[in-house]
Amino acid sequence: MDLDWVATFLKDYEWLIEYLKNMVKPAAALAVVLLAVALSYSQNLSLEGEMIYSVFRSFLQLSIIGFVLQFIFNQENAGWIILAYLFMVFVAGYTAGQRAKHVPRGKYVAGVSILVGTGITMFLLVVLNVFPFTPRYMIPVAGMMVGNAMTVIGVTMKQLRDDIKMQLNLVETALALGATPRQATLQQVKRALVTSLSPVLDSCKTVGLISLPGAMTGMIMGGASPLEAIQLQIVVMNMIVGAATVSSIMCTYLCWPSFFTKAYQLQTHVFSS
């Protein structure tokens, strides 16, 4: 009777047992974290607590998202794609808005910009039949695009606001001479876009020469051939560049109502802090 109960338990929780078995290697990798903690302690950096908290939080978050994705992939329902995508956009918009906290409605601007940039890119990928519209493909693809767009948007908003603040006199003079907000801030917008997009473009130019990106590495370690892996990575880099560019440009247009009045005057309180 006891053996029957054990057999039933093992069958019902086979997924959990398999998960715990596969966690042996990640647990062994904690050795490098302990090394970092020891070095932090020896150098009096006082980062030991934050390191341990960060690693624990990443473990918890990844474990939860792993089970959630496993559930979603088994459903094969397009509605889960939209729900997961909107959740990622919401979190990314909030995070990017926090980074540019001096920009009014920064979270709204970031969220809408990310939604538009990544949404257009995902639509083109599906229409061109690059990826099938299934959770297994679209959720990881959306995650990569949203994550990169989030970083670019945060830098764009912060850089644009800071540049205008440093050159208030030039911008006000241009406005006084009849320039529109776009004309008065054209150089600042260009500088913000170049600054935010440069890391993405540099990564694209050096991919494969300096580092093997995550998608490519994952496929190779999963048993795929290097040629198959580079085909996917080329698509990934293209979509990241496209989504980041559209999102950042959209962001600059959405920032103007916060920086200027309807009468084409600077909102001085935005740049006073």
- Express each pLDDT in 148-160 by its tens digit: 999 999 999 999 9
The tens digit of pLDDT for each residue in 107-124 reads 999 999 999 999 999 999
49-71: buried (b, 16+ CB within 10 Å) or exposed (e) per residue? eebeeebeeeeeeeeeeeeebee
Where among 74, 106, 121 does a domain terminate? 74
Q: What angle do CA 212, 216, 219 make, to 5 degrees?
A: 135
Question: How far is the C-alpha of 197 from the C-alpha of 216, rounded, in Å?
Answer: 22
The pLDDT of residue 18 is: 74
Distance, CA of 251 to CA of 21 (rounded, Å): 45
Q: Is the confidence at residue 216, as pLDDT, over 90?
A: no
Residues 152, 200 contacting (CB under 8 angstroms):
yes
Q: Which single residue is written with the structure tokens 């940039």?
A: 117
Return the pLDDT at 271: 77
For residue 49, the model assigns a pLDDT of 92
Q: Of 41, 74, 107, which marks where a domain is finished?
A: 74
**52 three-state secondary structure:** helix
In this predicted structure, what is the pLDDT of residue 8? 59
* Residue range(s) defining the domain that contains residue 35: 1-74
pTM: 0.81
Q: Are residues 17 and 91 in the same domain?
A: no
Place of tokens 């794609």: 81
Question: At residue 93, does pLDDT exceed 90?
Answer: yes
HEC profile for 179-248? CCHHHHCHHHHHHHHHHHHHHHHHHHHHECCCECCHHHHHHHHCCCCHHHHHHHHHHHHHHHHHHHHHHH
Residues 132 and 263 in one domain: yes
Domain boundary residue, one of 39, 74, 109: 74
Residue 1, pLDDT > 70, answer no
Structural domain total, the chain: 2
Whether residues 20 and 55 fall in one domain: yes
Higher-confidence residue of 105 and 215: namely 105
60 and 83 belong to one structural domain = no
- Are 59 and 90 in a shared domain? no
What percentage of the chain reaches a pLDDT higher than 70?
93
Residues 181 and 66 in one domain: no
Based on the fold, state whether residues 95 and 117 are members of the same structural domain: yes
Instruction: Dump pLDDT digits (tens) for 20-59.
Output: 777 788 888 889 999 999 999 999 989 999 999 999 998 8
Q: Which of 79, 61, 80, 60 is nearest to 71 (CA)?
A: 80
CA distances from 229 to 47, 116, 150, 222 (A): 37, 28, 25, 10
